[in-house]
Amino acid sequence: MVDVDLSQPPFTFLDDEGRERIRRGIDLAYFDRDEIILETGQPGEYVFLIHKGEVAELDTTQPGAREHIGHYTQGDLFGAISILNGTSRYRFRAEQETLCYLLPKALFLQLCDAYPPFAEFFRQRLAHKTRLLTEQRAEGGVTMAGFMLARVNECMRSPLCVAEDSTIAEAVTTLHDSHADSLLVEGPQGPGMVTKTDLLNALVLDGQPQSSPVQAVARFELVTARPDQYLFEVLVMMTRAKVERVVVMEHGVPVGVVELTDVLSFFSSRSYVVSLEVEQADSLEALAAASRRTPELVRALMAQGVKLRFAMGLLAALNGRIINKAWGFLIDARYHHDSCLMVMGSEGRGEQILKTDQDNGLILADGLAWPDCAEQMQRLTDTLIELGYPPCPGNIMVSNPEWVGTESQWRSRITRWVERRDGDSLMKLAIMLDAHAVAGNPALLEGVRRSLFEQCAGDELLLSYFARPVLHFSTPLTLFGSLKKPQHGIDIKKGGIFPIVHGVRVMALERQVMVTSTLDRLDALVEDGRLEARFAEDLGEALALFTELRLRQQLERLDDEDGRRDGEPDRVVVQELSSLERDLLREALHIVKEFKQRLSHRFHLEYS
Amino acid sequence: MLRALRRAADRRRQAHGDYAWLFYPYTGDELVAIDCQTTGQDPRSAELVSIAAVRLRGDRVLTSDSLDLRLRRPASLDSEALRLCGLRRVDLVDGESLDQALVRLLDFVGNRPLVGWHLDHALAILNRELRGRLGFDLPNARIDVAQEYLRQRRRSHLELGRQPRFEQVAEGLGLPVMGPHTALGNAVTTALMHLRLSRGALPVP
Closest approach of chain A CAs to the CA of B188, in angstroms? 8
Contacts of B192 in chain A (CB under 8 A): 28, 30, 99
Residue ranges making up the domain that contains B126: 29-199
Tens digits of residue pLDDT in A550-575: 877 777 776 655 444 445 566 776 66
Domain map of chain A by residue range? 11-140, 152-266, 271-456, 468-602
The C-alpha atoms of residue B10 and residue A210 are separated, in whole angstroms, by: 123
List per-residue pLDDT tens for chain B, 205 residues long.
677 888 788 877 777 777 777 788 888 888 899 988 887 777 788 888 888 899 888 878 888 878 888 877 666 556 665 565 556 665 666 677 888 888 888 888 888 889 988 888 888 888 888 888 888 888 888 888 888 888 877 776 655 556 678 877 777 777 777 766 778 888 888 888 888 888 765 554 4
Cβ contact A1–B184 (<8 Å) = yes
Q: What ipTM does this complex have?
A: 0.73
Domain A152-266 bears CATH identifier 3.40.47.10: no
- Residue A397 to residue A377: CA distance in whole angstroms: 9
Contact between A29 and B59 using a beta-carbon 8 Å cutoff? yes
Q: What is the block-wise mean pLDDT of chain A (608 residues), using blocks of 10 residues?
A: 65 81 83 82 84 79 62 78 79 83 87 82 60 46 46 76 83 82 80 85 84 83 83 80 84 83 62 66 79 74 68 80 84 82 82 75 83 84 84 81 86 87 85 85 86 82 84 62 55 83 89 84 87 85 82 72 52 67 76 86 75
Domain count, chain B: 1
CATH superfamily of A271-456: Beta Polymerase, domain 2 (3.30.460.10)
Residue B162 lies in a domain: yes
Chosen for mutation from B61, B184, B202 (greatest number of chain A CBs closer than 10 Å) is: B61
> Which DSSP symbol is given to A362?
E
| pLDDT tens-place string over residues A208-220 | 888 888 888 888 8
CATH fold match for the domains A152-266 and A271-456: no
In this prediction, residue B145 carries a pLDDT of 85
Residue among A179, A197, A255, A267 nearest A224 (CA): A255
Among A224, A170, A239, A237, residue whose Cα is nearest residue A192: A224
Q: What percent of chain A has pLDDT over 90?
A: 0
Q: How far apart are CA A561 and CA A605, in angstroms?
A: 42
Q: Residues of chain A with pLDDT > 70: what percent? A: 81
Whether B4 is in a domain gets the answer no
**Distance from A486 to chain B by nearest Cα, in Å?**
18
Report d(CA A524, CA A507) in Å as an integer: 10
| pLDDT score, position A133 | 47
Q: Are A290 and A278 in contact (CB under 8 A)?
A: yes
Q: What's the confidence (pLDDT) of residue A515?
A: 84
Angle at B157 between CA B154 and CA B158, to 5 degrees: 80
State residue A141's pLDDT score. 35
Per the domain annotation, does B169 fall within a domain? yes
The bridge status of strand A339-343 relative to strand A91-94 is: unpaired
Q: How far is CA A249 from CA A110, A158, A190, A231, A258, in A?
A: 60, 11, 11, 14, 11
Residue B204 lies in a domain: no
Smallest Cα–Cα separation from A127: which of A85, A65, A76?
A85
Helix (H, G, I), strand (E, B) or coil at A359: coil
The answer to whether the Cβ–Cβ distance between A28 and B63 falls below 8 Å is: yes
pLDDT at A273: 61
**DSSP per position, A442-461:** HHHHHHHHHHHHHHHTT-HH
How buried is A224 (Cβ within 10 angstroms: 0-12 exposed, 13-18 middle, 19+ buried)?
middle
Check if the beta carbon of residue A52 is closer than 8 Å to that of residue A153. Answer: no
A11-140 placed in CATH 3.50.50.60:
no
Cα–Cα distance for residue pair A278/A319, rounded to 1 Å: 10
Q: Quick check: B153 and B173 in contact, CB under 8 A?
A: no
Res A146: pLDDT: 43
- Virtual CA dihedral for A160, A166, A167, A168, nearest 10 degrees? 10
Strands of the sheet containing A91-94, edge to edge, are A36-38, A91-94, A55-58, A68-72
- Contact list in B for residue A27 (CB cut-off 8 A) is 60-65
Task: Chain A: give the shortest CA distance to residue B120, in Å.
Answer: 25
pLDDT at B176: 74
Do residue B64 and residue A25 have CB atoms under 8 angstroms apart? yes
Asked if residue B22 belongs to a domain, the reply is no
DSSP result, A559-586? H-TT-TT-S-TTEE-GGGS-HHHHHHHH
What's the CATH code of the domain at B132?
A: 3.30.420.10
Q: Nearest Cβ partner of B63 from A26, A31, A52?
A: A26
